[in-house]
Chains A and B, each alone.
Chain A
Amino acid sequence: MIKFKNSEITPENIYKNRRNFIKKFGLTAGSIFLSQNLNFSANAAPKNEDLKLTEYRYITTYNNYYEFGTGKSDPVERSEKFKTTPWDIIIDGEVENPLKLSIEEINTMFPSEERIYKLRCVEGWSMVIPWLGFPLNKILNKVSPTSKAKFVKFVSILDPEQMIGQRFPILDWPYKEGLRIDEAMHDLTILVTGLYGKKLPNQNGSPLRLMVPWKYGFKSAKAIVNIKLVEKMPTSSWMKASPKEYGFYSNVNPTVDHPRWSQATERVIGEGIISPRIPTTMFNGYGDEVASLYAGMDLKKYF
């Protein structure tokens, strides 16, 4: 069991009564970026105080993790015995000091803090998850990226012995994802080690996953073994599977539909049969913080 310095193990029932905390956190997260000049501020609505946490049981039983199968309950049913120790993560590529760190070293070097983020899946549903993690920029700064480092490529583990889904060519295994360097360095981009005050469950991408809250969920690669700084834009597994449908950026954007389905609205997980769809917001509600990264870009073209 990994020890967390910044956050103690918190039972879910305590979480449920922590609306006050959420409110405070929302204000903190928002105020960090108040000084930035923003172009899309009218679109942004990260009302964190309105976010109601999704129940732990839903976050940990409703997963897209095709390495363990394409069904939503496959990951929880098939990942129980997945081995996350020993686990090394290599950070290399266009850097001055490439590093190989064990997951234990990462947990010691980079204390996790709590981040409540909304997760919007490209399929049209969303959850609100109290992650434990640390900004990716902390680890990137440790390796000193060179001037050639324009993009960051994330490679997940390849282990068809343990991951039944990888025995089928559903995607180009191992799972690959990528970010532009400024997206990767952004303070909202975190590497996740836990959720709900606990160690990250296997089905959620243990021992280390990415979380980029203003992008569709599939951008946030799970079970990462390699973070490579590169000069050219990497091709993600989803881009390779269907380039017209899954772009490199994949920012949450209600005005740019998936070619086959609408992205204007989303269903909130765990809200029951009565609750209606809610409108999807630009950059998943994080526009105040991230819209400036895309100033002048045609987001219909760079979807």
Chain B
Amino acid sequence: MTKYLKPSIFVLSLVPFLIITYKIFFNKLGPEPVKEITHFTGEWTLIFICLTLSMSPLKKLTKLSLWINFRRMLGLFVFFYATLHLLTYVGLDYRFNWQPIFDDVVKKKYVFIGFAAWILLIPLVITSSKKMVRLLKNNWKKLHRLVYVIAIFGSLHYIWLSKTIFFKPLIYLIIIIVLLALRIKIKNKDVNYG
């Protein structure tokens, strides 16, 4: 049973990608398609950040270690959707017109923090293999705490691009703060988690 679990989660994680591909090819994106793709991929990035961060607390809460088996894969899906999100912005929206993109990254804090979050994902992807975990030993754990920074950056990215204070972007920040707070509690009990 459990051996089918991981492939199932893999397929499920691809569902958002399939939905947006379907919408693109069947012209179901509505009046502002590029913005729709940008928001869709951006939101799924945040959802996968939340899912990835849920695995350790779930292990603790359910006393089942199997959750940790999905963490790496979910983390890689964060990068997958974040990259689609970035490519939509750079390629589809701005047509690889680097000057305005550069201006945005430098001058607009929501673009800056979003781009920074994507950059910070790269070392985590590179060091995601089992081999790297062994190689880096304790440093691996330290390095991968970057995901906490990335999560906060990601939710701020969403909040700062909203026109006024909206409910939904705040929800993501709250969920992320709760998921991070759960870790502090775990730490105090001196249990070792990544």
Contact = CB atoms under 8 A, between A and B. Distances in A.
Given A261-B110, A277-B94, 12 more contacts: A62-B30, A72-B31, A257-B107, A261-B108, A262-B100, A262-B104, A262-B108, A267-B34, A269-B31, A273-B24, A273-B37, A277-B95
Interface in B106-146: 107-110
A292 to B, nearest CB: 30
A123 B164 CA distance: 11
A-B residue pairs, 5 tightest by C-beta: A58-B31, A273-B33, A62-B31, A269-B31, A241-B164
B66 to A, nearest CB: 38
A267 B32 contact: yes
Given A58-B31, A61-B31, A260-B109, A170 B103 contact: no
Given A260-B108, A261-B161, A262-B104, A273 B29 contact: yes
B87 to A, nearest CB: 13
A260 B112 CA distance: 11
A269 B32 contact: yes
B160 interface: yes
A243 interface: no
Given A61-B31, A241-B164, A264 B92 contact: no
B4 to A, nearest CB: 37
Contact of A70 (B34, B103, B160, B166): B166
Main SS at interface, chain B: helix
Given A257-B107, A261-B110, A262-B104, A270 B93 contact: no
Contact of A260 (B30, B161, B166): B161
Nearest to B110: A260
Contacts of A265: 100
B164 A276 contact: no
B189 interface: no
Interface of A: 58, 61-62, 70, 72, 122-123, 125, 170-171, 241-242, 257, 260-262, 264-265, 267, 269-270, 272-273, 276-277
B3 interface: no
A58 B29 CA distance: 12
A58 B33 CA distance: 12
Contacts of B72: none
B29 A267 contact: no
A50 B78 CA distance: 43
Contacts of A261: 104, 108, 110, 161
Interface residues of B, number: 27
Contacts of B92: 273
Contact of A62 (B24, B32, B94): B32
21 contacts: A61-B30, A62-B30, A62-B31, A72-B31, A170-B165, A241-B164, A242-B164, A257-B107, A260-B108, A260-B109, A260-B160, A260-B161, A261-B161, A262-B100, A262-B108, A264-B100, A267-B35, A270-B31, A273-B34, A273-B37, A273-B92
B33 A272 contact: yes
Nearest to A62: B31
Contacts of A270: 31
Nearest to A241: B164
A50 B94 CA distance: 23
Interface string B49-87: 000000000000000000000000000000000000000
Contacts of A276: 95
Contacts of B163: 122-123
Nearest to B109: A260
A173 to B, nearest CB: 13
Contacts of A125: 32, 35
A160 B161 CA distance: 27
Contacts of B103: 262
Contacts of B93: 267, 277
A267 B95 CA distance: 13
Interface string B159-173: 011011110000000
A276 B104 CA distance: 17
